[in-house]
């Protein structure tokens, strides 16, 4: 699996986990969860201008730069005490970044 596909996979998984964490097990039956998972699938983006944000090889992420014009906030997970990605996004796009790491 390519690095980009892995990043997309883990990003989608994190979003799903955040969505499902809001609901109790009784609130979502099995069919509802299947419909939710079916809606959140990776798609091929057209006219995407990729740009790396962050430091080095392991601390940065490729994003579609041309799709970032209307965002108001960013989230950065697994920062391990430093967040080159969040710092660069915040500086270049002038927006707040919410950081989270369940181990740090």
Q: Helix crossing, 3-22 with 30-39: angle to 10°?
A: 140
Q: Are residues 35 and 50 in the same domain?
A: no
Range of the domain at 36: 1-43
- Contact between residue 62 and residue 6 where contact means Cβ atoms under 8 Å apart: no
Residue 94 confidence (pLDDT) = 92
Q: Are residues 83 and 97 in the same domain?
A: yes
Q: Are residues 67 and 30 in the same domain?
A: no
Q: Are residues 38 and 50 in the same domain?
A: no
Q: How many domains does the chain have?
A: 2
Tens digits of pLDDT across the chain (104 residues): 566 667 777 777 777 776 666 665 666 677 887 888 888 888 777 888 888 888 776 678 888 888 888 889 988 887 777 788 888 999 999 999 998 887 76
Q: Are residues 32 and 66 in the same domain?
A: no
Q: How far apart are CA 103 and CA 81, in angstroms?
A: 9
Q: How far, in whole angstroms, is CA 70 from its chain's centroid?
A: 16
The model's pTM: 0.54
């Amino acid at each position: 699996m390519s690095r980009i596909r892995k990043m997309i996979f883990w990003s989608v998984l994190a979003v799903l986990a955040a969505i499902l964490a809001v609901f109790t097990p009784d609130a979502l039956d099995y069919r509802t969860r299947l419909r939710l998972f079916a809606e959140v699938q990776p798609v091929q983006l057209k006219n995407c201008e990729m740009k790396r944000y962050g430091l080095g090889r392991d601390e940065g992420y490729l994003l579609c730069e041309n799709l970032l014009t209307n965002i108001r906030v960013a989230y950065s997970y697994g920062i391990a005490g430093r967040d080159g990605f969040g710092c660069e996004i915040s500086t270049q796009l002038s927006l707040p970044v919410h950081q989270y790491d369940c181990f740090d």
